[in-house]
């Protein structure tokens, strides 16, 4: 007889699956590449890997399992707020064989603790209720996989060990679709896993508006660059009359039919004004996303690139927009602010310390986002000048 309950076995399987994916991403790289600093705005991969293990140790072994850490106060070097990205290459972090051993030793202890805890829906500890802390850990590893891909973009000749064709057939339709004004409900419901910043769910009043049916394409962006002299997206360079891009180890001509990606918020905003439109607010975006299906979207990383704009035409949102989920993160006009009645959980450093007018909200996830991470209420945020993230956009305008 086994003492492992079915929900616990499911959690253990999902933890194993997340780790398999993390390790597959770095399988083509040697230790030198894991330790190398490719960009001051990105951590070396060795830091991300140690941070994934350390975050797991902190929450699932120390906090939940009440055990001591394996490496004393090493955890302070893996604190994302204490250690800005540009300093992480110099830190005395675990490397090479020691790093790999840490990942598996922590996991072994995590599974020991999982066997001991109660994760019932009505568990007394809010961290264990609905297995919150395990969902948090899974989401954390998944989200770090996307950060790792931002760096892997820069690795010359990177060859994934596992990839799948880009899903979704392209279709055509009107340039913009309409969304009714009135009261719309935004945010995550009270039950089920979501981050603190998605709550509480609340009503917002929106004016009627139109939104682009599909993300803005490279073709449209080239026109914008040529007419205004704007900077090209990150990873592009001129090639005679045309453009080529180098990303995910490949150099190829820019495909005008694909969504533009690796543009900053400032660039997206300038494009929208040039086009006689504007960026949608995050709540307009969420209203337009209603009815979208994350299982029929270019998510989960294995496509290693975007689908053409207009793909997944057979799985539109209720308003008729396509690719609201997947392909590219979409910049919105909104600052990252607390929802009315916000309460930090499980710690203020997840969202609260970032609230204000410094960061802009992105929605919808990209090809590089794991499916489990994304939902219509999910709010991502970044600095408006950032371009290494997998971000594009679509435009909106007031109706009538
Ligand atoms: Fe993290």
**How many angstroms separate the alpha carbon of residue 58 from the centre of ligand 1?**
12
**How many angstroms separate the alpha carbon of residue 74 from the centre of ligand 1?**
15
**How many angstroms separate the alpha carbon of residue 369 from the centre of ligand 1?**
15
CB–CB of 224/260 below 8 Å? Answer: no
pLDDT tens per residue across span 317-354:
999 999 999 999 999 999 999 999 999 999 888 899 99
pLDDT of residue 4: 54
**How many angstroms separate the alpha carbon of residue 80 from the centre of ligand 1?**
6
**How many angstroms separate the alpha carbon of residue 158 from the centre of ligand 1?**
24
**How many angstroms separate the alpha carbon of residue 34 from the centre of ligand 1?**
17
**How many angstroms separate the alpha carbon of residue 133 from the centre of ligand 1?**
14
Q: Transcribe 96-123 into DSSP letters.
A: HHHHHHHHHHHHHHHHHHHHH----TT-
**How many angstroms separate the alpha carbon of residue 187 from the centre of ligand 1?**
22
**How many angstroms separate the alpha carbon of residue 153 from the centre of ligand 1?**
19
Mean pLDDT in runs of 10 for the chain (400 residues)?
A: 70 98 97 94 95 97 96 94 90 95 98 92 88 96 97 93 85 94 97 96 98 98 98 96 91 96 98 98 98 96 96 94 98 98 92 97 98 96 98 96
pLDDT tens per residue across span 280-296:
999 999 999 999 999 99
CB–CB of 392/328 below 8 Å? Answer: yes
State the Cα–Cα distance between residues 364 and 215, nearest whole angstrom. 11
**How many angstroms separate the alpha carbon of residue 144 from the centre of ligand 1?**
6
CB–CB of 155/33 below 8 Å? Answer: yes
**How many angstroms separate the alpha carbon of residue 267 from the centre of ligand 1?**
27
Please state the pTM of the whole predicted model.
Answer: 0.95
Q: Which helix (H) or strand (E) holds 149?
A: helix 132-152
**How many angstroms separate the alpha carbon of residue 317 from the centre of ligand 1?**
31
Whether omega for the bond prior to residue 287 falls within 30 degrees of 0, making it cis, is no
Q: State how far the alpha carbon of 193 is from the alpha carbons of 133, 189, 190, 198, 337, in Å.
A: 9, 9, 9, 10, 20
**How many angstroms separate the alpha carbon of residue 41 from the centre of ligand 1?**
15
Tokens of 369: 């986002």
**How many angstroms separate the alpha carbon of residue 356 from the centre of ligand 1?**
20
Phi and psi at residue 244, to the nearest 5°? -125, 155
CB–CB of 80/86 below 8 Å? Answer: no
pLDDT of residue 166: 86
**How many angstroms separate the alpha carbon of residue 289 from the centre of ligand 1?**
27
State the Cα–Cα distance between residues 265 and 89, nearest whole angstrom. 28
State the Cα–Cα distance between residues 322 and 324, nearest whole angstrom. 6
**How many angstroms separate the alpha carbon of residue 79 from the centre of ligand 1?**
8
Residue 351 CB coordination number (10 Å): 19
């Amino acid at each position: 007889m086994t003492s492992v309950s079915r929900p616990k076995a499911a959690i253990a399987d999902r933890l194993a699956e997340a780790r398999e994916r993390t390790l597959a991403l770095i399988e083509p790289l040697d230790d030198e590449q894991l330790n190398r600093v490719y960009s001051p705005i990105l951590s070396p991969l060795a830091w991300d890997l140690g941070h994934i293990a350390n975050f797991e140790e902190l929450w699932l072994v120390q906090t939940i399992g009440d055990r001591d850490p394996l490496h004393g106060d090493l955890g302070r070097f893996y604190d994302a707020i204490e250690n800005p990205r540009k300093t992480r290459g110099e830190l005395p972090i675990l490397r090479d064989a020691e790093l790999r051993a840490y990942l598996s030793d922590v996991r072994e202890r995590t599974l020991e603790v999982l066997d001991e805890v109660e994760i019932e829906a009505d568990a007394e500890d809010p961290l264990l209720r609905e297995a919150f802390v395990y969902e948090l850990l899974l989401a954390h590893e998944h989200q770090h996989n996307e950060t790792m891909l931002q760096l892997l973009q820069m690795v010359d000749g990177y060859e994934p060990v596992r990839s799948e064709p880009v899903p979704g057939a392209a279709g055509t339709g009107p340039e913009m679709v309409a969304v009714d004004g009135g009261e719309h409900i935004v945010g995550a419901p009270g039950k089920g896993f979501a981050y603190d910043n998605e709550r509480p769910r609340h009503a917002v009043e929106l004016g009627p508006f139109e939104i682009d049916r599909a993300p803005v394409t490279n073709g449209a962006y080239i026109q914008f660059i040529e007419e205004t002299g704007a900077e090209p997206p990150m990873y592009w360079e001129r090639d005679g009359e045309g453009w080529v891009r180098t990303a995910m180890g490949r150099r190829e001509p820019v495909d005008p039919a694909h969504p533009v990606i690796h543009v900053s918020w400032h660039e997206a905003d300038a494009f929208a004004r040039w086009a006689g439109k504007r960026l949608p607010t995050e709540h307009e975006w969420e209203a337009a996303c209603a009815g979208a299906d994350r299982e029929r979207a270019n998510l989960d990383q294995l496509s290693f690139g975007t689908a053409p704009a207009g793909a997944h035409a057979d799985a539109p949102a209720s308003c008729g927009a396509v690719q609201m989920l997947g392909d590219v993160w979409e910049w919105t006009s909104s600052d990252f602010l607390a929802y009315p009645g916000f309460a930090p959980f499980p710690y203020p450093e997840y969202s609260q310390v970032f609230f204000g007018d410094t960061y802009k909200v992105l929605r919808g996830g990209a090809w590089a986002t794991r499916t489990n991470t994304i939902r219509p209420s999910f709010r991502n945020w970044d600095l408006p000048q950032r371009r290494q993230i997998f971000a594009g956009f679509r435009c909106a305008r007031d109706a009538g």
